[in-house]
Structure 1
Amino acid sequence: MIKPNQKQKNQLEPEKRKRKFIMPHTYAILFFIMLLCAGATYILTPGEYDREIDEATGNTLVVNDSYSSVEASPISFFDIFQAIPLGMQDAADIVFFIFLIGGAFGIIRATGALEAGVAKAVIKLEGKEKLMIPISMIIFSIAGFTIGSAEEMIIFVPIGVALARATGFDAITGTAMITLGAASGFIGGMLNPFTVGIAQEIAELQLFSGFAFRFVVYLVLLTFAIWYVSRYASRVKNDPSKSVIYEIELKEAHNSKSKEEMTAFSTLSFRHHLIFVVIIGGLGFNVYGVFQWGWFITELTASFLIMGILAGLLGKLSINRIFDSFIDGAKALAFGSLIVGFARAILVILEEGKIIDTITFSLVEVIQNFSDGGTAIGMFFSQSFLNFFIPAGPAQAMTTMPIMVPVSDLLGVSRQVAVLAFQYGDGITNSIIPTSAALMGYLAIAGIPYEKWVKFVWKLILGWTVIATVALLIAVSIGIE
């Protein structure tokens, strides 16, 4: 065997240093969790709680102090793979809900109304830089709390960056006023069907209940984000060297096409106005249906489909183009749709292996001496940690809420608080974790290095975390249901 000499070793060392850790695919992480859970069925003592139906609410409740051991039911290697289609079946309503809504918004996007409307709005703000950031963030936050917009914001990032540079700011400002506006709404989640809606379904709560409390917290989150971005933008405008991407901005300073590129987007036709009427009217109709007629996933899906097809017809799309756009929109959410089934497969393994209640019992034993507020905060930070590995909100809801709901029941914390802990834990860290596909997409389009974004955003994430913690303590103290 020939041993490399010192010179050869020195030549190899740079190659070794270049090797970087590659984060496993989200599906790979979920599959690994499935393997761990299957292995746990051979190690953990299986057990179950008794459950009963609350006649007042119709909710299925865990009976306190009823945990007992049961006969083992270990999961075989073949059972692991069976759990995937079974998980898809169990979560079919949510899987197809996401697919179909993605298709509906694919049609709306194909009309060009969304791009034209946003471009028109931001062009109107040129010369009114002090208003540009708050108005933009408010507009995009609405998309965040109504349809859970995340990846959809990628198409608006180039417009935001172009406008920011044209008015003396930098790409960070342009990206932030769009994505952090949407993130503020996403975290608030008052009408977000993909996170709050799914979590409340699992928790057997009325859809979008707790709206008023969430709305107040949303206003605080959004106000803080607007102040944070505006403060940074003002510093950059006064002294461009304060930009965290100053070197990049110097290279981009020669680019004179930004205004022209934005103007090309901003032709807002009469048909576009009609499409916005359909969108706003449809969303309002959905809210009315939820609170007045008890609508849930099936009715909301049907309403979104009508909204999408009607928008396509008003946008003068051909029938073939409408359904081609529908397929494209569904494809765009295939990742988020199918991952729900994979996440549900984890629950299938835990249930079939009879260890989900064992995990619940162990978690209760750890935190039973915490105060109610401490339990809520513990849930929040647990969800924040898990979001790094399962950044897709629907998948995280399907994975964690079946465990958090009985924990909240046993420890006397309301299920609504458990949902709040989930939505804040899921939403806040999406703006900083490298496993977030939406975040990495934003940064790639804007040409912002990840480490530069972290340098800009970490204090905002810390502030949001403090706000969420205080909100959870208040929710516990007022007994939100």
Structure 2
Amino acid sequence: MEKTKKKFKAPDALVLIFSLLIICSILTYVVPAGEYDRYVDETTGIEMVDPESYHNVEQSPVSLWQLLMSIPKGMNESAGIINFLFIIGGAFGVLQDTGTLDALINKVVKKLKGRERLIIPFFLVFWGLGGSILGNFEECLAFVPMQIMLCLALGFDSIVGLALGLCGVCVGYMGAIMNAFTVAIAQQIAGLPVYSGMGFRLVVWTVLLITAIIYIWNYAGKIKKDPTLSLMYEEDKHSKYRDQQIDDVDFTRKHIAVLLSFLVGVGVIIYGVIVHGFYITEMGAVFIALTVVMGLLGGMGLNGTVDSFVKGAHNLLYACICVGFARALTIVMADGKMLDVIVHGVTGVLKGLPAIISAPLMFVVQAIINIIMPSGSGQAVVTMPIMVPIADVLGITRQSAVLAFQMGDGLTNLFTPTGAPLMAGLAIAGISWGKWMKWFAKLFFAWTVIAIIAMMVAVSIGYGPF
């Protein structure tokens, strides 16, 4: 009798992260600990790294107790984004229970009949600009449920719904035109005029965006023709985001009022981000107010609004746990004095190589470092003081070093399990990390090639001003 082959099942996100926690903890017993000296720059007030100060320190192995403690510590340190996720989950729970989303999606599906894929460039350009100019990343998570609901109703899958947000902001970070969290800080550290070299970054952003549009456009087209080709075919059949409406849903005055209030809330958030520097705490406050207004306009009453809010927040419980676990990885590596060891090791490979080779490698090094240090501003503070002197010695312009940083920082944001936004997005969509990587691999490779070519061009043209 022939044995049935068991199909490989990608590990759950929490299983994957906990496995990495164990591996990192073991490595703290093996890898010699080391660190750089840090100081506060008097001009900018930013904590900087002295690139010549790397030295070995006493071993700091992470015990089993410390490993377990890293998880609640990770939850505490990620409280801001966790609270934000709970709030937006609750807000969308209320929005959905008013019936507005069903009515809106029904209307959009009718309007786009035969042209369903037009939503792809729309969302990618929107999030690409948001990431590139405003530094949006976590913000896109608020719209993932709506994007997935829309994509499923249009005949696509949940991967497309998630990719419209994540790939858009990733393009924004890789080709950051005016991102205050990455480019501005990196250029400030490098001594460059803030936001200089914008024209070349705009070209990079455009090429990356077009590549993403083509990739997702082709995939969505295949799924539309044959849904069984979707990596999420079985899961999407029973998805909580699946539109169950069979009959037409009228778009009533109540729905229009709720939708208008939602759009006003989004407008307030955009204004707040641009003018007042809103981040997730301020945006969460807007969503709280918006929740009450939508519930009352939708005729749900206060008790009904609270019930829907709690149910919606519960839907993002798993995503919130993933965020805390992902943060625990960074805590373990920091406690084990491994972060600076990795930075010192990977930057060491650049020395002594010709510029045309070392410049693309500089991008690769930044991408690797981003896997263990997925904070754009934090990575800039740690790596740029090291990369700038290396660039000077190798004859690479400092502007090229900044370009390598921003592209490396952006690329692996959609790869690393330590990245809270990625793990939260996957949890919201119900997509395993393994399935995401299976879908994302070709786009990841294409973006890598584009980034390497961009670095080679930057070296060839002396991308500056210096």
Give the TM-score normalised by structure 1: 0.67
Give the superposed CA RMSD.
4.8
2:382 to 377, 400, 406: 406
Matches of residues 146-295 of structure 1 in structure 2 within 5 Å?
147-148=140-141, 149-150=143-144, 152-161=146-155, 181-182=164-165, 184-189=167-172, 220-227=207-214, 264=247, 266-295=249-278
Query: Of the candidates 17, 42, 54, which is equivalent to residue 29 of structure 2?
Result: 42
Q: Secondary structure at the residue paired with 1:42?
A: helix
Q: CA shift at 1:65, angstroms?
A: 0.7
Task: Report the CA distance between 1:52 and its aligned residue.
Answer: 1.4
Tell me the amino acid that sits aligned with residue 147 of structure 2: M
Q: 1:66 to 1:403 in 2, by over 3 A?
A: same
Structure 2 portions without partners, runs of 5+: 131-138, 174-178, 189-193, 230-242, 389-397
Q: Is the 8 A contact 2:185 2:380 kept in 1?
A: no
Residue number in structure 1 paired with 2:103: 116
* 1:193-220 superposed Cα distances (whole Å, 9 cap, x missing partner): xxx9998999999xxx97x888876655
Distance 1:132 1:71, change over 3 A: closer
Distance 1:115 1:140 in 2: 23
Q: 1:299 aligns with which of 278, 282, 306?
A: 282
Relative to structure 1, is the Cα distance of residues 313 and 297 closer, same or farther in structure 2, using a 3 angstrom cutoff? same
Runs of 5+ consecutive residues of structure 1 not aligned to the other structure: 1-10, 162-172, 191-195, 247-259, 387-394, 444-449
> What corresponds to 1:309 in structure 2?
292
- Give the direction of change, closer, same or farther, for the CA distance of 1:334–1:143 in structure 2 (3 Å limit): farther
Determine if contact 2:34/2:340 at 8 Å carries over to the other structure. Answer: yes
1:56 is aligned with what amino acid? T
d(CA) in 1 for partners of 2:405, 2:120: 31
Work out the CA distance in 2 between the residues paired with 1:233 and 1:46.
47
Partner of 2:247: helix, strand, or coil?
helix
Preserved CA contact (<8 Å) 1:94 1:198: no
- Shift in Å, 1:64: 0.9
1:354 lines up with 2:337 in the alignment: yes
1:397 aligns with 2:367: no
Question: In 2, Cα distance between the equivalents of 1:282 and 1:470?
Answer: 41
Aligned partner of 2:325 in structure 1 is 342
User: How far did residue 222 of structure 1 move?
Assistant: 4.9
User: Greater CA deviation, 408-417 or 68-77?
Assistant: 408-417
Q: Structure 1's 297 and 442: CA in aligned 2 closer, same or farther, altered over 3 A? A: closer
Q: What is the deviation of 1:310?
A: 1.9
Offset from partner CA, 1:163-215 (integer Å, 9 cap, x none): xxxxxxxxxx677875654454343357xxxxx9998999999xxx97x8888
1:323 pairs with 291, 295, 306, which one?
306
Paired letter, 1:283: V
For 1:200 and 1:143, the matched residues in 2 are separated by 17
Deviations 1:283-307 (A, max 9, x none): 2322222232232332122122222
| 1:156 aligned partner, one-letter code | L
* Matched position secondary structure for 1:52: strand
Q: Deviations over 1:448-470 (max 9, x none)?
A: xx89x97x987666545545555
Report what 2:3 is aligned to. Answer: 14
Secondary structure of the structure 2 residue equivalent to 1:316:
coil
Give the AA of the match of 1:365: G
Against the structure 1 CA distance between its residues 147 and 355, is the aligned structure 2 distance closer, same or farther, given a 3 Å change threshold?
Answer: closer
User: 1:70 Cα shift?
Assistant: 1.9
Task: State how 1:116-135 maps to structure 2 within 5 Å.
Answer: 116-126=103-113, 129=114, 131-135=115-119
Residue identity in the other structure for 2:154: G
Asked if structure 2 preserves the Cα contact closer than 8 Å seen for 1:113 and 1:272, the reply is yes
Q: Deviations over 1:25-69 (max 9, x none)?
A: 221222222222222222222222111122333322111111112
What is the distance in 2 between the residues matched to 1:462 and 1:113? 39
**CA deviation vs aligned residue, 1:261-291 (integer Å, no higher than 9, x gap):** 8773542222322233233322232222223
Q: Secondary structure, in 3 states, of the residue corresponding to 1:264?
A: coil
Equivalent pair of 1:188/1:217 in contact (CA under 8 Å): no
* Conservation of the 8 A alpha-carbon contact between 2:117 and 2:221: no
Task: State the one-letter code of the partner of 1:410.
Answer: I
Question: Given the superposition, is the C-alpha separation of residues 94 and 289 from structure 1 closer, same or farther in structure 2, using an over 3 Å criterion?
Answer: same
Partner of 1:446: none
Mapping of 1:20-35 within 5 angstroms?
Answer: 20-35=7-22
Larger radius of gyration: 1
Q: 1:98 matched to which residue of 2? A: 85
Code of the residue aligned with 1:160 in structure 2: it is L
Aligned to 1:138: 122
**How many Å separate the matches in 2 of 1:371 and 1:176?**
35
Q: 1:21 to 1:142 in 2, by over 3 A?
A: same
Contact 2:100 2:255 in 1 (8 A): yes
Paired residues, number: 409
* Alignment correspondent of 2:133: none
- CA–CA separation in structure 2 for the residues paired with 1:312 and 1:39: 50
CA positional deviation for 1:228? 5.6
For residues 79-127 of structure 1, give each alpha carbon's deviation from its aligned partner in whole angstroms, at most 9, with x where no partner exists. Answer: 211122222222222222222222222222322323322321220233x
Preserved contact between residue 360 and residue 403 of structure 1 (Cα < 8 Å): no
Does 2:29 match 1:52?
no
Distance in 2 separating the partners of 1:133 and 1:64: 48
| Aligned partner letter, 1:92 | A
| 3-state SS of 1:20 partner | coil
Amino acid at match of 2:382: P
TM value normalised by structure 2: 0.69
CA distance in 1, matches of 2:148, 2:317: 17
Deviates more, 1:271-280 or 1:228-237: 228-237
State the secondary structure of the residue aligned to 2:73.
Answer: helix
Counterpart amino acid of residue 140 in structure 2: I
Change in Cα spacing, 1:74 to 1:179, as seen in structure 2 (3 Å) is closer
Is the alpha carbon distance of 1:334 and 1:120 closer, same or farther for their aligned partners in structure 2, counting shifts above 3 Å? Answer: same
Match of 1:168 in 2: none
What is the letter of the counterpart of residue 79 of structure 1?
Q
CA deviation vs aligned residue, 1:374-412 (integer Å, no higher than 9, x gap)? 3124434776xx6xxxxxxxx9836x9856752343112
